[in-house]
């Protein structure tokens, strides 16, 4: 997840605003028809409408986090994409996904090695009845090819900009489990509420999720409010500074020249992939070192390529797996705000 992998995990790696949960849930419902357990189910998305004629038995998933939805609902997918960021196991799965497979009695899951491109043959060989890709960046061509294998549920509007609640709702609905998906969202919301209650210092603080390359601090990337990792910060009690809320783009991130660092100056906290070496580099930089959050050390550093860094782009299983660690790091950063 580094720039391309931002989508899956960093900028080219893989915060709608507070209250986005209700909005996204309602928008998802508006794009789904006949979900009372009756078929066909019709789901609207960026490439049109997918019609699921009968209850799917074989669920395939591609891209980031979609596999965690069926697993969280107790359904073993017939095939899933290999993790392309974070610390994965010998099967190419992140810890929370691997653990769920074991809980469901599966030691050797089918994993598509599709980091360098979709493996259509492997996907076809897994004989899916539906392919879940609610959070993904598939192109029209990829969607068309996948649709020759099975009905595909693509992202609602823009690539890599499906927030976790919407991902769960769309993927669960495509499985014929809309009610279960909605309950899963409610359960996760309750968990987040419980956990954040211990971090009152985060309330009212503003935050920006960034990507910095220590070797080239002449530019950096900001994850916009439509990016899942940025939106997740608002779930955890933080808010966007006004400067970020005003930014508009079709992408999930935007490149910013260091000369335009004013966009960061009203942020209490910065969140970034890196370690203490990155903070030292930022504080030593003639421009970025003037940003209040940088000067104060109010930077929540997420070790690049770590388990936690992968879960910053949240999924149905990663949220409960790492929320405690994430909140601790954010809380430490909040304590340094002046």
The CATH number linked to 36 is 3.40.50.1980
For residues 173 and 217, state if they share a domain. no
Residue 207's nearest CA partner among 256, 240, 242, 245 is 240
Give CA 287 to chain center in angstroms: 30
Is 185 within the bounds of a domain?
no
What is the pTM (predicted TM-score) of this model?
Answer: 0.89
- Which pLDDT score is estimated for 2? 32
Residues in the chain predicted with pLDDT less than 50, given as ranges, are 1-30, 34-35
- Which pLDDT score is estimated for 265? 95
pLDDT digits (tens, 9 = 90+) for 95-154: 999 999 999 999 999 999 999 999 999 999 999 999 999 999 999 999 999 999 999 999
Number of domains within the chain: 2
pLDDT digits (tens, 9 = 90+) for 13-22: 332 222 233 3
Phi/psi class of residue 80: alpha, beta or left (left: φ > 0; alpha: ψ in -120 to 50)?
beta
Is 2 within the bounds of a domain?
no
Is 10 within the bounds of a domain?
no
Is 43 within the bounds of a domain?
yes
Q: How far apart are the first and last CA of the chain?
A: 32
For residues 211 and 172, state if they share a domain. no
SS3 23: helix
pLDDT digits (tens, 9 = 90+) for 36-45: 568 999 999 9
Residue 182's nearest CA partner among 197, 191, 192, 172 is 172
Range of the domain at 142: 29-177
For residues 63 and 124, state if they share a domain. yes
- Which pLDDT score is estimated for 24? 41
- Which pLDDT score is estimated for 249? 66
Is 17 within the bounds of a domain?
no
User: Which of 126, 143, 177 is the last residue before a domain boundary?
Assistant: 177
Helix (H) or strand (E) holding 311: helix 307-311
Is 6 within the bounds of a domain?
no
Residue 135's nearest CA partner among 111, 116, 115, 163 is 163
For residues 123 and 158, state if they share a domain. yes
For residues 39 and 151, state if they share a domain. yes
CB 249 within 8 A of CB 224: yes
For residues 312 and 231, state if they share a domain. yes
CB 288 within 8 A of CB 261: yes
Is 58 within the bounds of a domain?
yes
- Which pLDDT score is estimated for 33? 52
Is 190 within the bounds of a domain?
no
Please tell me the distance from the alpha carbon of residue 290 to that of residue 272, in angstroms, as a whole number: 17
Judge residue 91's burial from the number of C-beta atoms within 10 Å of its C-beta, 0-12 exposed, 13-18 middle, 19 or more buried: middle
HSE of 99, CA atoms in CB hemisphere, 13 A:
8
């Amino acid at each position: 997840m580094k720039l391309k992998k931002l989508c899956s995990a960093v900028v080219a790696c893989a915060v709608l605003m507070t209250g986005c949960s209700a909005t996204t849930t309602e928008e998802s419902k508006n794009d789904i028809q006949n979900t009372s357990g009756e078929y066909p189910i019709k789901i609207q998305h960026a490439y049109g409408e997918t019609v699921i004629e009968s209850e799917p038995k074989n669920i395939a998933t591609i891209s980031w986090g979609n596999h965690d939805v069926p697993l969280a609902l107790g359904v073993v997918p017939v095939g899933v994409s290999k993790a392309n960021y974070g610390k994965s196991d010998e099967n190419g799965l992140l810890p929370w996904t691997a653990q769920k497979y074991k809980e469901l009695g599966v030691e050797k899951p089918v994993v598509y090695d599709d980091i360098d491109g979709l493996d259509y043959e492997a996907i076809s060989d897994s004989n899916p009845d539906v392919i879940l890709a609610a959070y993904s960046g598939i192109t029209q061509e990829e969607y068309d090819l996948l649709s020759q294998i099975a009905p595909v549920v693509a992202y609602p509007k823009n690539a890599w900009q499906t927030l976790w609640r919407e991902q769960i709702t769309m993927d669960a609905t495509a499985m014929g489990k809309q009610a279960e998906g909605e309950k899963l969202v409610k359960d996760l919301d309750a968990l987040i509420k419980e956990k954040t209650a211990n971090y009152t210092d985060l309330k009212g603080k503003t935050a920006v999720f960034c990507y910095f390359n220590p070797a080239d601090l002449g530019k950096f990337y900001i994850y916009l409010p439509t990016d899942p990792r940025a939106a997740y910060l608002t779930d955890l009690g933080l808010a966007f500074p006004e400067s970020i809320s005003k930014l508009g783009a079709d992408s999930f991130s935007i490149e910013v020249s260091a000369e335009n660092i004013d966009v960061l100056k009203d942020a209490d906290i910065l969140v970034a992939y890196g370690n203490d070496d990155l903070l030292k580099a930022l504080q030593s930089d003639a421009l970025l070192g003037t940003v209040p959050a940088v000067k104060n050390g109010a930077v929540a550093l997420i070790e690049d390529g770590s388990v936690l860094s992968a879960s910053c782009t949240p999924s149905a299983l990663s949220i409960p797996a790492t929320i405690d660690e994430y909140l601790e790091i954010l809380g430490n950063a909040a304590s340094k705000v002046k």
